[in-house]
Amino acid sequence: MSLSRRGVLAGLASTAFAVPGALAQASETSRNPVAIAARPITAFEPRNPEKSRFGKLTFRGGLVLSASDSAFGGFSGLWRSAQGDDLVAVSDKGMWLTAKVGSRNGRLAGLAEAELAPILGSSGRPLRRSRYYDTESLCIADGVAYLGVERTHDVLRFDWARDGVLARARIVPVPREAKRLPSNKGLEAIGVVPRGQPLAGAIVAIAERSGAEDEPTAGFIIGGPQPGLFRVARHDGFDITDLAFLPDGDLLLLERWYRPFRGVGMRIRRVAGERLKPGALLDGPYLIEADLGQEIDNMEGLSVHLERGRPVLTLISDDNFSFLQRTLLLEFGLE
């Protein structure tokens, strides 16, 4: 969901605007190299620069990313490879970003070999020229990329291992209840249940918000051995913006709170994997809570990979192509 439609950041919401012609430099169907500048974030809480522990997570470092290409930005979905070397993000304007992740002394250092490419529909035409343009969530599992599309409330499938960014979309059937979601509150979170779990291979998609304030939001188990519907509890006005599975099957939920003239907040919640089943109401403890006192923005993408057997969480923010917001890439360790 684009915060700029309602304004962004405390006290400055009314002056936010989207950059016109944000995709003008992107070729219609080709990959385009992009040079990404990366400014290090050495302290997650600037007023306490020595602090590294936040809730159950340890801040490992971060970057403020920028590029002169006007198609750069708006990233709402994120994936990193098993070793963390490769990064893929999707923007809410139907673009892929691919890059190699560089690190120095255990901290994020930059993105190399970066390319932007339009996400292609089944006909080979860019999704941004179709009704499926609002791509909001991403996961890649077993060589297949899945995207959640807001407004049309669809799930798209791509043969990533074979074709990469040149893969063409295929529709994954979704429950009819998904089609009834609010227009701009749709499938913001998507993942695939890992191997070894009872629902292994199933796609899990969760709506940003499907009801009134603090009512549970809708979740969908698509395919797998036990498809069905579930709900996710919501608290304190936070909306669901992404999900990622830990290797043990537990589910991490990235949440975002926003109010004009008051600010933005972020939380990550952990849900026991065995609770994921049709008819369930999911809830769990929070691993971290942050606000504008920390280095956050409109955090919308979450990915998990392992480093020396320990989970590393990577988050990306959606800047909505607004000069008031930033594209942040943050990394945390989970003990």
Contact 304, 312 (CB under 8 A): yes
Identify the CA nearest to 110 among candidates 202, 35, 175, 11.
Answer: 35
What integer pLDDT is reported at residue 246 of this predicted model?
Answer: 98
pLDDT attached to residue 28: 61
Q: Which H or E run contains 332?
A: strand 327-334
User: Is residue 266 assigned to a domain?
Assistant: yes
Structural domain includes residue 190: yes
Query: What pLDDT, in 10s, does the model give residues 55-100?
Result: 999 999 999 999 999 999 999 999 999 999 999 999 999 999 999 9
pTM of the full predicted structure? 0.91
Residue 173 gets which letter from DSSP?
P
- For 275, phi then psi, to 5°, come to -80, -15
Q: What is the pLDDT of residue 25?
A: 40
Q: Note whether residue 28 is domain-resident.
A: no
- d(CA 299, CA 302) in angstroms, rounded, equals 8
Q: Does 164 reside within a domain? A: yes
Give pLDDT, residue 21: 42
Confirm whether 30 is domain-assigned.
Answer: no
Residue 26 lies in a domain: no
Q: Which CATH number do you get for residue 134?
A: 2.120.10
**How would you write the pLDDT of the chain (335 residues) with one tens digit per residue?**
555 433 433 333 333 323 334 344 444 667 899 999 999 999 999 999 999 999 999 999 999 999 999 999 999 999 999 999 999 999 999 999 999 999 999 899 999 999 999 999 999 999 999 999 999 999 999 999 999 999 999 999 999 999 999 999 999 999 999 999 998 889 999 999 999 999 999 999 999 999 888 899 999 999 999 999 999 999 999 999 999 999 999 999 999 998 777 789 999 999 999 999 999 999 999 999 999 999 999 999 999 999 999 999 999 999 999 998 999 999 999 98
Give bridge partners of residue 140 from the DSSP assignment. Answer: 145
What is the number of domains present in the chain?
1
Whether 25 is in a domain gets the answer no
CB 320 within 8 A of CB 6: no
Q: Report strand pairing: 228-232 vs 281-282.
A: parallel
Beta strands 135-141 and 107-118, pairing class: unpaired
Backbone dihedral angles phi then psi of residue 204, each to the nearest 5 degrees: -115, 125
195 domain residue, yes or no: yes
Write the Ramachandran bin of 106: left for phi over 0, alpha for psi from -120 to 50, otherwise beta. Answer: left
Contacts of 168 (CB under 8 A, 6+ apart): 120, 121, 122, 123, 124, 158
Q: What is the pLDDT of residue 226?
A: 96
Classify residue 119 by its DSSP letter: P
Domain that holds residue 135: 3-18+36-334
